[in-house]
A and B are shown apart, each in its own frame.
Chain A
Amino acid sequence: MSTLELLVFLPLLAALAVGLGAPARFTALGASVLVLLFAVYCAINFNASQEGGMQFASSRTLLEMPGFPKLSLAFGLDGISLVLLLLSGLVLVAAVFLAPQESAIKGSARLYYLSLLLIGGGAIGAFTATDLFFLYAFHELALIPTFLMIGIFGHGEGRVRTAWTITIFLGVGSLVLLVGLILAVGALGGTTFDVASLTALAKGSPIAESTQSWIFLLLFIGFGILVSLFPFHSWAAPAYAEAPAPVAMLHAGVLKKFGLYGLIRLAMPLAPAGAERWMNLVLVLLLGNILYIGLVTIAQKRLDRMLGYSSVMHMGYAFLGIAAGNVIGVSGAVLLMFAHGLSIALLFGLAGWMRDQFGTLDIDRFGGIAKPMPRLGLLFGFAAFASIGLPGFANFAAEVEIFFGAFAGEDLAMTWIRWATIGALWGVVISAVYMLRAYRHLFMGPKPDKLVTPADLSWETRLPLLLLLVALLAVGFAPELLNQFIRPAVNGLFTAMAG
């Protein structure tokens, strides 16, 4: 068994063990910490100077049949997937750590931890698979427990309805995506599911432009629904608000990035002409994400919904980076996936803890809790600053790269994308407005008399959150930590697809 197979199957086997009766919390924590260590091991042994190509690659043929593409269980890492692997490891550890203690989940702790492990394992599988089928299938594997968790352990009366909404949205998204992928594989000869071979085929003998246009549109909408692209975003905020905190952390932080990953890994290389054709649509929709959803976020009165919308909004920047279509823009998008994943997981983790302790997340009912609860205040402050994208946090480095990438070019002509970039810059202001306003309402000012403050964050809660924060700051101060992996991979991607 190769390193990556072990890494992918570790959480899945741990989930099986939990299902069969192993001590739930211990097994889940052990497995997720091992996953993180494995991911760090891969990062240390990763050859950052290699441009293009997969490292730690392994492949087993599963099906060879005339008339059907060759199917293999294949895994591999390049810089992009390595960064996402690290992200998955970090958030998985934090989410499992923050999952309520066994006594609090009345009898269903087994199902709870099993689902978390399945979501984590599915996400890791999706990011490391180099076979198109498994790339798709692992993502689906992670969606089913997400849906179950929201319905079973979610908050509020509307949880079943929300679970249905997210299932229908994401199910339809996946189906659209599947049609697009089948069309793409078919148009490229239908002999293989191997992503690298498909990319090479798309470069050597590109798909006819009209077909490419269809394929890109299908993939863009399919992946877009998964990333909560405007106007397909309406599932996201209620789902995150009602999901148990660890699920919101894993989905918003990790799993949602699959859509962006797919756009970079599949949609752009396989249908570059289609991407060009629909560029203006992409720009309009991403501005919808940044500006329209940004304003919607300001209007929210509950912390969890506000965070949900803010995570929708920030996806717009990632789309902008991808739309830039150059090395710096796409690298920025990848870095943003990492940074946003950590910061939103941090925020959802804190919000979930606050909901448990205070019993409410209505912003109006809070006030002045920074004084009795300084640790919570400080940690939330850091998380909020990260989310706004202040310098020193990974988010800043990522957003700067994206804006530079999107504005790049030697002439001074105002192309569409430059206008879009100028519009998108206002998003920074918007996110500062809602984050700082929320922070002021929650933590500053006078404390309402009715509000009873519980004890401050205990060390078990702080530890996983600090892990996320340290990673954010480390990459914020030294983006090269990750950029050294991302840049060659993106370079390789562009060499592989440049016509």
Chain B
Amino acid sequence: MPVYYLEFLVVALGLVLLMADAFAKLEDKRSLARLGVLGLAVIFCLLFIVKAPEAAEGGIWRFYAAPDKLSLFFKGLALLSTILVLIMAIDYAPIVVAQTANPEEGAHPQAGLGEFFALPLFACAGLMWMSSANHLVSIFVSLETVSITFYILVAYLRRNVGSLEAGVKYLILGALSTGFLVYGFAWLFGITGSMELGAITEALGKDSVNPTAALFAFALILIALAFKLGAAPFHLWIPDVYQGAPTPVTAFLSVGSKAAATMVTLRLVSPFLASAPLVGKITAVLVVVAVLTLLVGNLAALPQRNFKRLLAYSSIGHSGFLLMALAAAPRESVENALSSSTVIAFYLGAYLLMTLLAFLVLSSLRSAISGEEIDSYRGLAKRSPLHAAALLVAMASLAGIPLTAGFFGKFFAFKMAIDAGQWWLLAAALVAAAAGFYYYLKIAVSMYFSDPAKGDETAIRLSPLTGIAMVVLMILIVVAGIAPGVIVGLFS
């Protein structure tokens, strides 16, 4: 089975959900999401039996890279995060219903819920395509597929001003960054005369390349990518959008969208890094962006009181570590060094597990705990030990405490910086990691050290599907923290 069937299957599944929403008489539309989870799980299993498209196929599939293990790994990440986002969406459904209520007589009480479950699938298809894109047009179209779906999802709660505000902010800034990206692509095409990454790499490697034009193209592309990644100084939208969007969408944004943006960054920056005349300046720019992102993300997270906002800054901080792995890419002269793609893939895998675990807890608590302030999680350990334990594991891993997956992610990135001799980058990363300890542990403190607020002491219910997902993620985080080989083996 050729690998691009997977994307078709995901799109088809999305269409099935939309049709079922429109035409089937469903009592409870949450069964759509369960169907989606099931379908995606099947497609996830298919990942392990796909094969490369035949070389003879050529033609239209030229823009689709032959699947290596790395792109399959990213497709797996996309599928896995969509599955978990749908599970979150099931828990979150009552809030969506309340915030999109339809005043018309005779409307289905859950009208408007169906699309909330179907849209993530289209984003997922875009993400999967992106991991195989090797052509500027294909990169652009897949990136926009994802972004446009997100514009809708972020603004989904139409009776909620916060969600609408987030949607508008995201749309305007997103459109602007798309402009930068396309303009950058145009310059890149002008310089190299090709849209294919292979040919672009070759053209940029030549001494005859015009460095000013190439650097200009790079700057334009980097601005667009920094926006998508949430890298400083283009990170300003992140906290507001993360806070305003529905929690499952925030989770999807912070994992799916980040994985996609990182993947594209890796694809688009690699040709520049491979070019001998440009690499010095490109590295310098990347180091500056990485240092800024590390410091801004982690230091700004320190005073946050809203949990989602805190996670937004933490997501910026993690972009910093991802960029660090890119900025410290080994020169060709270094033998036997960690490669950026390995480190980034591992980091993203670990990041997916821990971030989704945190959001899973958040969205499953949303109906029991009204506020999103950190203080509203006081005494959680007494009300629901499993939620508290899951959040503790997620926070420990995000902070990078040993024996969790997050530790190795950071460790690999540090190792790369040391090998590359990037001492400023290393210093910034140390400060960032130390700050991370503080603000992640602050949440543990509020869960474990204080008693629940008065009148709020009831135990919290947990749906079985969410409970299973939480336990599985916890186990995966710890296993990957003891034997990182289990993740590394998936892509190398």
Residues of A within 8 A of B (CB): 19, 61-68, 71, 73, 107-108, 110-111, 133, 136-138, 140-141, 144, 147-148, 151-152, 159-160, 163-164, 167-168, 171-172, 175, 179, 182-183, 186, 190
Q: Which of B401, B402, B412, B483 has most A Cβ within 10 Å?
A: B402
Q: Could you tell me the dominant secondary structure of chain A's interface residues?
A: helix
* Contact among B338, B414, B444, B449 with A182 in the assembled complex (CB-CB below 8 Å): B414
Give min CB distance, A458 to chain B, whole Å: 31
- Do A63 and B488 contact each other (CB < 8 Å), given the known contacts A73-B482, A111-B381, A175-B434? yes
* Contact among A68, A152, A167, A186 with B448 in the assembled complex (CB-CB below 8 Å): A152
A68 and B338 within 8 A (CB): yes
B residues near A65, Cβ cutoff 8 Å: 338, 342, 485, 488, 492
| CB pairs A–B below 8 angstroms (25 shown) | A62-B485, A63-B484, A63-B488, A65-B342, A66-B336, A66-B338, A67-B336, A67-B419, A133-B402, A137-B407, A138-B403, A140-B401, A141-B403, A151-B448, A159-B449, A160-B445, A160-B449, A167-B441, A171-B434, A175-B430, A175-B433, A182-B418, A186-B415, A186-B418, A186-B419
B366 adjacent to chain A (CB < 8 Å): no
Question: How far, in whole Å, are A273 and B401 apart by their CA atoms in the complex?
Answer: 31
B403 and A67 within 8 A (CB): no
A151 and B483 within 8 A (CB): no
Residue of B nearest to A19 (CB): B389
With an 8 Å Cβ cutoff, the count of chain B residues facing the other chain is 37
A151 and B449 within 8 A (CB): yes
B484 and A62 within 8 A (CB): yes
A64 and B485 within 8 A (CB): yes
Interface residues of B in 140-165 (CB under 8 A from A): none
Question: How far, in whole Å, are A370 and B347 apart by their CA atoms in the complex?
Answer: 61
Interface residues of B in 375-419 (CB under 8 A from A): 381-382, 385, 389, 396, 401-403, 407, 411-412, 414-415, 418-419
Give min CB distance, B413 to chain A, whole Å: 12
B403 and A140 within 8 A (CB): yes
A163 and B485 within 8 A (CB): no
B472 adjacent to chain A (CB < 8 Å): no
Interface residues of B in 413-446 (CB under 8 A from A): 414-415, 418-419, 430, 433-434, 437-438, 441, 444-445
- Do A152 and B484 contact each other (CB < 8 Å), given the known contacts A111-B381, A172-B434? no
A residues near B418, Cβ cutoff 8 Å: 182-183, 186
Question: How far, in whole Å, are A88 and B15 apart by their CA atoms in the complex?
Answer: 61
Q: How many pairs, one residue from A and one from B, have CB atoms within 8 Å of each other in the complex?
A: 85
A residues near B385, Cβ cutoff 8 Å: 110
Question: How far, in whole Å, are A175 and B427 apart by their CA atoms in the complex?
Answer: 12
Question: How far, in whole Å, are A109 and B144 apart by their CA atoms in the complex?
Answer: 53
A148 and B444 within 8 A (CB): yes
B337 adjacent to chain A (CB < 8 Å): yes
A residues near B338, Cβ cutoff 8 Å: 65-68
Residue of B nearest to A175 (CB): B434
Give min CB distance, A192 to chain B, whole Å: 13
A residues near B485, Cβ cutoff 8 Å: 61-65, 71
B275 adjacent to chain A (CB < 8 Å): no
Provide the B215-254 mask, 1 if CB < 8 A to any CB of A, else 0: 0000000000000000000000000000000000000000
A residues near B330, Cβ cutoff 8 Å: 67
Question: How far, in whole Å, are A68 and B325 apart by their CA atoms in the complex?
Answer: 14
Question: How far, in whole Å, are A446 and B483 apart by their CA atoms in the complex?
Answer: 62
Question: How far, in whole Å, are A152 and B448 apart by their CA atoms in the complex?
Answer: 7
Give min CB distance, A177 to chain B, whole Å: 11
Give min CB distance, A135 to chain B, whole Å: 10
Given contacts A137-B403, A148-B448, 5 further A-B contacts (CB under 8 A): A71-B484, A107-B382, A136-B402, A144-B396, A168-B437
Question: How far, in whole Å, are A163 and B450 apart by their CA atoms in the complex?
Answer: 13
Provide the B169-206 mask, 1 if CB < 8 A to any CB of A, else 0: 00000000000000000000000000000000000000
B402 and A140 within 8 A (CB): yes
A residues near B430, Cβ cutoff 8 Å: 175, 179
Question: How far, in whole Å, are A97 and B483 apart by their CA atoms in the complex?
Answer: 34
Question: How far, in whole Å, are A212 and B483 apart by their CA atoms in the complex?
Answer: 30
Question: How far, in whole Å, are A206 and B267 apart by their CA atoms in the complex?
Answer: 41
B residues near A164, Cβ cutoff 8 Å: 445
A62 and B403 within 8 A (CB): no
* Contact among A67, A73, A148, A160 with B337 in the assembled complex (CB-CB below 8 Å): A67
B339 adjacent to chain A (CB < 8 Å): yes
A68 and B434 within 8 A (CB): no
Give min CB distance, A68 to chain B, whole Å: 6
Question: How far, in whole Å, are A32 and B123 apart by their CA atoms in the complex?
Answer: 51
Question: How far, in whole Å, are A56 and B339 apart by their CA atoms in the complex?
Answer: 37
B437 and A167 within 8 A (CB): yes
Give min CB distance, B369 to chain A, whole Å: 20
Residue of B nearest to A63 (CB): B485
Question: How far, in whole Å, are A110 and B388 apart by their CA atoms in the complex?
Answer: 14
Residue of A nearest to B412 (CB): A68
B residues near A186, Cβ cutoff 8 Å: 415, 418-419
Residue of B nearest to A147 (CB): B441
Residue of A nearest to B346 (CB): A65
- Do A171 and B437 contact each other (CB < 8 Å), given the known contacts A62-B482, A62-B483? yes
- Do A67 and B339 contact each other (CB < 8 Å), given the known contacts A62-B482, A167-B437? yes
Give min CB distance, A313 to chain B, whole Å: 29
A residues near B438, Cβ cutoff 8 Å: 168
Question: How far, in whole Å, are A73 and B484 apart by their CA atoms in the complex?
Answer: 12
Residue of B nearest to A186 (CB): B418
Question: How far, in whole Å, are A179 and B449 apart by their CA atoms in the complex?
Answer: 31
Question: How far, in whole Å, are A108 and B407 apart by their CA atoms in the complex?
Answer: 29
B441 and A152 within 8 A (CB): no
Question: How far, in whole Å, are A108 and B482 apart by their CA atoms in the complex?
Answer: 28
Give min CB distance, B485 to chain A, whole Å: 4
A residues near B484, Cβ cutoff 8 Å: 62-63, 71
Question: How far, in whole Å, are A333 and B381 apart by their CA atoms in the complex?
Answer: 41
Question: How far, in whole Å, are A138 and B481 apart by their CA atoms in the complex?
Answer: 12
Q: What are the 10 A-B residue pairs with the smallest beta carbon separation, nearest first?
A: A137-B402, A67-B338, A63-B485, A62-B483, A67-B337, A151-B449, A140-B402, A137-B403, A171-B437, A62-B485
Give min CB distance, A105 to chain B, whole Å: 13
Give min CB distance, B394 to chain A, whole Å: 14
A63 and B448 within 8 A (CB): no
Q: Which of A73, A137, A179 has most B Cβ within 10 Å?
A: A137
Residue of A nearest to B399 (CB): A171
B residues near A147, Cβ cutoff 8 Å: 441
Interface residues of B in 334-383 (CB under 8 A from A): 336-339, 342, 381-382
